[in-house]
Amino acid sequence: MTALTLSTSGAATLRADAIVVGVAKGAKGPVVAPGAEAVDKAFDGKLASVLELLGASGAEGEVTKLPAPSGFKSPVVLAVGLGAVPEKDDTYGAESLRRAAGAAARALTGSKKAGFALPVETVEDAEAIAEGALLGAYAFLAYQDIEKDGTSKKDQNGAKLPLGEITLLGAKPRDKALKAATERAVALAEEINRARDLINTPPNDLYPESFAAVATAAGKEHDIKVQVFDEKALLKGGFGGIIGVGQGATHGPRLVKLSYTHPKAQKTLAYIGKGITYDSGGISLKPAGHNETMKCDMSGAAAVLAAVVAAARIGLQVNVTGWLALAENMPSGNATRPGDVLRMYSGKTVEVLNTDAEGRLVLGDALARASEEHPDAIVDVATLTGAMVVALGNRTFAIMGNDESFRTAIHEIAEEVGEQSWPMPMPAELLKGMDSPTADIANIGERAGGGLAAGLFLQEFVGEDIAWAHLDIAGPAYNEGSPFGYTPKGGTGTSVRTLVRLAERTAAGDLG
Ligand code: BES
Ligand code: MN
Ligand code: ZN
CATH code: domain of residue 121:
3.40.220.10
In a domain, 47, yes or no: yes
Best residue among 385, 470, 492, 494 to mutate for probing ligand 1, ranked by most atoms within 8 Å of CB: 385
In a domain, 181, yes or no: no
| Ligand with the closest atom to the CA of 450 | 1
Domain end (from 129, 146, 174): 174
Structure pTM?
0.97
Same-domain check for residues 168 and 213: no
Residue 145: pLDDT band by 50, 70, 90 thresholds? Answer: low
Give 446 Cα–ligand 1 centroid separation in angstroms.
14
Domain end (from 174, 200, 216): 174
Same-domain check for residues 386 and 354: yes
Given the residues 113, 360, 369, 505, select the one marked as catalytic.
360
Given the residues 153, 154, 160, 286, select the one marked as catalytic.
286
Same-domain check for residues 297 and 398: yes
In a domain, 180, yes or no: no
Name all residues whose Cβ lies below 6 A of ligand 1.
279, 297, 354, 356-359, 383-387, 389, 444, 450, 474
In a domain, 182, yes or no: no
pLDDT at 159: 64
Same-domain check for residues 394 and 452: yes
Same-domain check for residues 261 and 369: yes
| Distance separating alpha carbons of residues 367 and 369, to the nearest angstrom | 5
Same-domain check for residues 304 and 436: yes
Same-domain check for residues 195 and 129: no
Residue 152: pLDDT band by 50, 70, 90 thresholds? Answer: low
Q: Return the H-helix or E-strand segment holding 271.
A: strand 268-279
Mean of pLDDT values over 507-511: 93
Domain end (from 174, 203, 231): 174
In a domain, 512, yes or no: no
Work out the angle between the directed axes of helices 123-136 and 94-107 (0-180°, nearest 10).
Answer: 30
Asked whether 443 and 457 are in contact (CB, 8 A), the reply is: yes
In a domain, 185, yes or no: no
Residue 148: pLDDT band by 50, 70, 90 thresholds? Answer: low
Ligand 1 atom closest to residue 276's alpha carbon, by position in its atom list? 1
| Distance separating alpha carbons of residues 455 and 421, to the nearest angstrom | 16
Mean of pLDDT values over 94-103: 98
Q: Which domain holds residue 124?
A: 3-174
Asked whether 159 and 489 are in contact (CB, 8 A), the reply is: no
153 noted as active-site residue: no
In sequence order, which ranges of 35-142 are alpha helices (DSSP H)? 37-42, 47-53, 94-107, 123-136
Best residue among 352, 353, 356, 396 to mutate for probing ligand 1, ranked by most atoms within 8 Å of CB: 356
Report the domain count for the chain. Answer: 2
Ligand 1 atom closest to residue 296's alpha carbon, by position in its atom list? 8
Give 245 Cα–ligand 3 centroid separation in angstroms.
10
Same-domain check for residues 249 and 148: no
Ligand 1 atom closest to residue 453's alpha carbon, by position in its atom list? 19
| Distance separating alpha carbons of residues 374 and 267, to the nearest angstrom | 11
In a domain, 57, yes or no: yes
Same-domain check for residues 372 and 493: yes
Give 451 Cα–ligand 1 centroid separation in angstroms.
9
Q: Return the H-helix or E-strand segment holding 365.
A: helix 359-371
Ligand 1 atom closest to residue 286's alpha carbon, by position in its atom list? 13
**What mean pLDDT is reported for the chain?**
96
Same-domain check for residues 207 and 142: no
Neighbours of 140 (CB within 10 A): 18
Name the DSSP letter for residue 248.
T
* pLDDT tens per residue, range 259-307: 999 999 999 999 999 999 999 999 999 999 999 999 999 999 999 999 9
| Distance separating alpha carbons of residues 122 and 125, to the nearest angstrom | 5
Ligand 1 atom closest to residue 354's alpha carbon, by position in its atom list? 18
Chain-centre distance for alpha carbon 123: 23
| Ligand with the closest atom to the CA of 296 | 1
Asked whether 2 and 137 are in contact (CB, 8 A), the reply is: yes
Asked whether 275 and 148 are in contact (CB, 8 A), the reply is: no
Three-class DSSP category at 312: helix
Task: Inform me whether the pLDDT recorded for 202 exceeds 90.
Answer: yes
* pLDDT tens per residue, range 345-394: 999 999 999 999 999 999 999 999 999 999 999 999 999 999 999 999 99
Neighbours of 481 (CB within 10 A): 9
15 noted as active-site residue: no
Give 359 Cα–ligand 3 centroid separation in angstroms.
5
Give 144 Cα–ligand 1 centroid separation in angstroms.
30
pLDDT at 174: 87
Closest CA to 319 of 270, 285, 274: 270
β-bridge partners, 21? 79, 117
Same-domain check for residues 390 and 274: yes
In a domain, 305, yes or no: yes
**Residue 438 is part of a domain; what is its CATH number?**
3.40.630.10
Give 47 Cα–ligand 3 centroid separation in angstroms.
51
Same-domain check for residues 158 and 268: no
Query: Which pairs from 339-345 meet CB under 8 Å and 24+ separation?
Result: 340/244, 341/438, 341/439, 342/240, 342/241, 342/243, 342/244, 343/238, 343/240, 344/239, 344/240, 344/241, 344/368, 344/461, 345/237, 345/238, 345/239, 345/240, 345/241, 345/369, 345/461
